[in-house]
Structure 1
């Protein structure tokens, strides 16, 4: 029997995938029109999970074209598509995609195409792998805005075609053969799902509501700690690795602090606004001190992977800060408000530190590419 989960961030999808017990391997089928974010998700999963085979028909099309036209160095999407149409090679692309899927031995296989209809998805569901659908939810205005930013394809794929594809997308179902369906909400107005644990409910006391907030936050902090620990084993740069290690320690500290507050509320002792889980001066010192001792420069490809990890970390800390601010607004106890606001401030410090590391990564990367000064 399949199940459904809801995510609003890529890193949440990563956490779901890491928790799977699927020895036979996993097949991930994203579902969405052009511009939904399918290829971006594929790249993020490759960085976060490692053993991911991203099968892209677009990449296959490009290889076929370049093989037939080796003299051309720069080719745009429209030219490749027209050539495939003129030579009748679209069916060959579909065949090669299926063959690549059948031969893949990676733990995770990601089918990077629209997969809009049940018919188009069927060939990839005839497998012993654990089958996951990632259904992209976004409104038409957001979709078109994202499509316009894709300069490689926006000039060749009309917006009317994007809307037609968006409207004909068929939602995945358990009956179709999926073991897990991930509903990924891209729409900004639907990203409030993180706040569901502290939505005011009729008949729920302020203390009980506070306990629910703390227990949700405890789980959230542990997930962040695990992400930082696991990512630290994969990044290339020493400074990024040290930063992730320190962030993991802080999230562990936050979890202990939250647990102590939760236990106090359960024992009717109340909030303790005087407790401090983190030495703020240490955080500021880290923020102001340049990261040094990098050793040997990693390859550019590995530096690019570090970019993705840092971006995911920045997104997590932004979510956490917003969570604590919203939680503080829903708690009546003054000490509770103070504690949750302080946690939001600490997550804000994390944001600053991560952003500083991202800027340093970007500067070093551009310098290696020969674009400095910039």
Structure 2
């Protein structure tokens, strides 16, 4: 087994777990914008899995390998672009607590993934492996930012709703 093979395999499993989480939670959020984001992120996590799989195959099968070009990432303005159109404020009043809880879980998962990739990059001695993990860390940081921003926005709106009906 090559030096970084196990770390890449672990990262692949993380991406599959992320895919499964987002796919499952897409059916549990009431807000349509959140549902679409979760489905989109499930697809992105699967792209990350395949990205890692391709690089693992290259890494294991060759003396040297290069990183592929960067894949497309999700639109960081997805919530802003859809909020008005999909009447997010009205949906908030009906579905806040479950959606907010799931958004927080998603944000924390993405933060954990980002930190894993940061640590893997810091500990990598091979420059290409380091670049691979740095790339993945940046992608996960973008996902973390999206969820954190939406979680904060939704919490602020929720805390400003009239209490007691």
Q: What band does the TM-score fall into relative to the shorter chain?
A: 0.7 to 0.9
Paired residue total:
162
What displacement does 1:287 show? 7.1
Change over 3 Å in CA distance of 1:286–1:209 after alignment to 2 = farther
The correspondence for 1:330, drawn from 118, 123, 137, is 123
Deviations 1:165-202 (A, max 9, x none): xxxxxxxxxxxxxxxxxxxxxxxxxxxxxxxxxxxxxx
For 1:293, the equivalent position in structure 2 comes to 85
Please report the RMSD computed on the Cα atoms of aligned residues, expressed in angstroms: 2.3
SS of residue matched to 1:368? coil
- The equivalent residue for 1:307 is 100
Post-superposition shift, 1:288?
Answer: 6.3
Query: Structure 2 CA distance, aligned partners of 1:349 and 1:249?
Result: 15
1:266 is the counterpart of 2:73: no
**What is the rounded CA distance, in whole Å, between the counterparts of 1:226 and 1:324 in structure 2?**
19
Structure 2: tracts of 5 or more residues without a match = none
Per the normalisation by structure 2, the TM-score is 0.86
Computing the radius of gyration from Cα coordinates, the structure with the larger value is 1
Which segments of 5 or more consecutive residues in structure 1 lack a partner in the other structure? 1-206
Task: Tell which has more relative contact order, 1 or 2 (C-alpha 8 A, sep 6+).
Answer: 2
What TM-score does the superposition give when structure 1 sets the normalisation length? 0.40
Alignment equivalent of 1:341, drawn from 124, 134, 150: 134
Tell me by how many angstroms 1:285 deviates.
4.7
- The 1:239/1:288 distance shift into structure 2, 3 A limit, reads closer
Greater share of strand: 1
TM-superposed CA distance for 1:298, in Å, is: 4.0
Classify the secondary structure of the residue corresponding to 1:208: coil
Distance 1:287 1:352 in 2: 12
**Aligned equivalent of 1:163:** none
- Residues 1:242 and 2:36 are matched in the alignment: yes
Matched position secondary structure for 1:209: coil
Higher helix share: 2
CA displacement at 1:229 relative to structure 2: 0.7
Question: In 1, Cα distance between the equivalents of 2:92 and 2:141?
Answer: 31
